[in-house]
Amino acid sequence: MRLNNAQNKREAGSQPRKKPVWTGPWGYTEGWLICLGLLITGTALQLTIGGLNPNALSWPVNIITGSIFTGILIFAWYFLRSLPMVNWLARVPAAITSIALLTFLVLIMGFNLQEDAGNPVWVQKLGLSNMTSSWPFLFGMMFFMASLGMATLKRLTPMKGRNIGFFLNHAGLYIAILGGLLGAADLKRVFFDLTEGEVMWGAVDRAGVYYEMPMPVELERFNMEEFNPKIAIIYSETGRIVPESINQMFEMGKGHRGNLYGWDVEILEFHKMSGRIDGRFEPVVDYGAPPSALVRVTDADGQQLEGWITSGSFMYPHQLLQVDHEMAIAMTIPQASHYSSDVVIYTPDGEMRQARVEVNKPVTVNGWKLYQFSYDDRFGKWSSSSTIEAIRDPWLPVVYLGIFMLIAGSVYLMTLGKAPDPEPDQTAGFDKAGKPSIETKTEPLKAAVSEDAPNRQPERLRKPEPELLEV
């Protein structure tokens, strides 16, 4: 049986015609196709010529590259805006698809250990273990930055109302990301391995490469302050803390008292630095002197046990108080609460600068920031060596400028921004909100009406067509 499809043809003729791909205005279809093309092209380049050299963008190549890229965006916006692709880059479909592509690449980066030689060979060849140095990431980032730059230029004029906040917001994000990308090759991070009384003229990076530094550093003294140790109950054979008692551990101090795994424990004496004298501990000030405590343990039956315990040090052994055949009361190793290094820095202009380098309080010398990084934890507060991290990031002010603009734009939009009425962009076919203008919206409808004019008579004037059935 074949049905007469006259009615179906009329309904099909009334549907809006689908816009062919790559004809203006571009939309999401073109965006996804561009993402696919960038991924395929980037992967092909990655497999054939290998990954990118991160140091290729060192100064002054990075500033030249950034200027050319930004210049191309400005030129294209002001002189080639009539091109569908240029106009499309400033619109929402380009922003959404470019963000989706970049998010996809970042997710891949998160699922693979970066710069790890233990990754499978195919992962390394595809650049998945060095994502930021791969061609797909470069193309994805360029797509995103082009879209962000065009959207920023689109709201540059007129500079009033919400356009001010929008421009600050997007331009700040553009400057911060571009500054971070271009400045990555100029970022230097090295480590001074210092020993008291010795002047160190060079430092090494994480790969062990030695660099001669412009400012030699000498360690005068390493300083450390410690928290009081804690009291714990451990398995005497393995030395491991009884898991059920971890939350019951408490800090040492004369008179402190607590319950450890069913035993009542009281601290009768506590010395931060002590020495063993005739089976007991007395406070002393000596190199390597460990903390000690006299504790009293009472079990559930009321039986008591007293004895000295110490965490020991690199010079003295630890001492436990056995409470049964399996467990013992122990003192944990004191943890550092604060540490720093007193250093002398010999600046390039011949000055000797004394400074204290701390973890979160860097010392700035000739564009370098010196941070306290680590020490020899075998000796704790008696360590005679210290590691100082030196960081130089000349592009950091650019990133800060972008972040400041981003914050300023956000605050402006939340407090002072007033939205001007969008004016239709006749040359591009879109209004300032990124939506097709009235003319653009009605063009397909007009074309459809003109082609199907006979079929678009009012329903009440049409003659009913007979339903034909054929068996």
pLDDT digits (tens, 9 = 90+) for 213-245: 999 999 999 999 999 999 999 998 898 999 988
- Residue 1: beta bridge partners? none
> In angstroms, rounded to a whole number, what is the distance separating the alpha carbons of residues 449 and 82?
28
**Residue 241 has what pLDDT?**
92
What's the confidence (pLDDT) of residue 11?
52
Q: What is the pLDDT of residue 448?
A: 44
Q: What pLDDT score was predicted for residue 418?
A: 58
Strands of 210-226's sheet in order across: 352-358, 336-346, 210-226, 199-204, 188-195, 385-392, 368-375, 363-365
For position 459, what pLDDT does the model report? Answer: 46
CATH number, span 188-225+337-392 = 2.60.98
Q: Report pLDDT digits (tens) over 375-417.
A: 998 898 999 999 999 999 999 999 999 999 999 999 998 887 6
Question: Distance (Å, rounded) from C-alpha 260 to C-alpha 234?
Answer: 10
Nearest-angstrom CA–CA distance, 24 and 88: 9
Tell me what pLDDT residue 19 has. 77
Say how far apart CA 373 and CA 341 lie, in whole Å: 10
Q: Which pLDDT does position 455 carry in this prediction?
A: 46
Cα separation, 19 vs 447, whole angstroms: 12
If you search the block for the tokens 């009605």, which residue do you land on? 442
Query: Where are the chain's structural domains?
Result: 28-157, 188-225+337-392, 229-333
- Regions of the chain short of the pLDDT cut 50: 1-3, 421, 426-428, 432-434, 438-471
Give the pLDDT of residue 416. 75
Residue with tokens 């930055």: 145
pTM of the model as a whole: 0.70
Amino acid at 303: Q
